Every structure is written in structure tokens, then in C-alpha cells.
Amino acid sequence: MRKLLLILTIITVSLLIKFSGFASYLTLENLQKYRYTLEYFVNNNYLLASFIYILIYIFVVMLSIPGASVMSLAGGYFFKFFPGILYINFAAVTGATLAFLVARYILGDFIQKRYTDKLKIFNEEMDKNGHLYLLTLRFIPIFPFFMVNIFAALSNVKLFTYIWTTAVGIFPASIVFTYAGKTLYNIRSVDEVISKEVFIAFVLLGILSQIPNLIKRISKSKNR
């Protein structure tokens, strides 16, 4: 009964957010348009503004609402570099962890049936590469964030491993978006924040995270 109530609550909140048009406000255009008003509020209510920002970011990540990139830019602009990185990482990891827990303990059966084939591939990679596979998925920004949350929840990965790989894996992107947020007024599109050079750097990080596995495989082949 309690599980059913939780499921209904999550569905209700998700539908309310979807049909309220909340996601339509999380755009670069709106952020640029109202930046002075928001900046005034932040400067005069720093602690409250920080709390509201983190809370919204957590819900955005947890419910997979489009706008996490815009929220990251906002963090860099309103809270500056180091506090911005701290707020972004804390909120993103918390939101991802809540999504992980919901997927594992509440929506597990439903998700298992819907993504059987993809989950099989994911679990095979997890068995072979463990936490390094999760790091690779986090480093390279072509893998949907929410899908990694869900698939990890239905694998054998431990919660602590999931949390630290998420924190480390999203850190480079947090730095990039926080830094870009300083020049919010010059950004024409969220896509231009991840330039070709930055994307290549993320891919290289993903490749580097697999080096320990490569060394392990080479040493195993030599010992045979």
C-alpha cells in the first residue's frame, strides 16, 4: 500500500510539473531576460536563493525535467565559480541519487519490463568493467543522464559506488557550465557551451577511465 502511494505521488507530481509548464521557464532566453531581477533577489537573499536554487535543481534532475544545463549556467552566473560548482554538484548528485532510489525500490518491475534488452547490455558491461563503466558514461555527455540513473539502479551497483562515480563523473561538466555562466549574456545557445574541443576532452576522459580495465585485460591475457 505504501509503495502504491509513493508511485501515485511521484506520478502526480510529475504530471503537475509537466502540465504546469514549469519546464518552459527553464530556458536560456528566460534566464537572460530576467537575470537582473534574479540577481537582485540573490544578492539580497543569498541563503534563501541558494536553498531555492538547490531544491529546484534536485527536482529537475530527479524528475528528468529539461533544463539542467540552464540551471548550471544560472549557478555559475548568480553564485560565482566555486560556490556554483559546489551547489551544482550537490544538487545534481542528490537528484540523481533520489532518481536511483525511486527506480530501484519503487519502479523497478515496470522499468525492467520496458527496457529489458538495454538493461541486459548495461548489466553485461557492469559485470565486465564495474564502476569504471559508470564513470565513462558520466564523463561522456552523449549518454542521457536519466537513463544512466535508471539502468544503474537496476544493476548490482552499490549505492555508495553510484554516488561517488556520479559526483566525479559530472564534475568536469559542472566546471565547464559554471565557468560559462560568468558570460551568460553572451551565450546564444546552450549547445555552444560544449564546444568541439570540450566534447573531445570529455571523450578522452571517458577513454582514460577505461585504462585500468585495459591494463587488467592485457595482464590476464599474458598470464594465460
Element (H, E) at 75: helix 68-79
Domain count for the chain, please give it.
1
Q: Is residue 66 part of a domain?
A: yes
Q: Is residue 80 part of a domain?
A: yes
Q: Is residue 145 part of a domain?
A: yes
Q: Which domain holds residue 40?
A: 27-223
Q: Which of 213, 176, 210, 206 is nearest to 193 (CA)?
A: 176
State pLDDT tens for residues 108-135: 767 767 777 777 778 887 877 778 888 8
Q: Is residue 10 part of a domain?
A: no
Q: Is residue 13 part of a domain?
A: no
Neighbours of 128 (CB within 10 A): 11
Q: Give residue 203's Cα distance to chain centre.
A: 17
Q: Is residue 39 part of a domain?
A: yes
Q: Is residue 15 part of a domain?
A: no
What pLDDT, on the 0 to 100 scale, is given for residue 120? Answer: 79
State pLDDT tens for residues 81-109: 899 999 999 999 999 999 998 888 877 76
Q: What is the pTM of this model?
A: 0.82
What pLDDT, on the 0 to 100 scale, is given for residue 185? Answer: 77
- pLDDT confidence band for 38 (50 / 70 / 90): very high
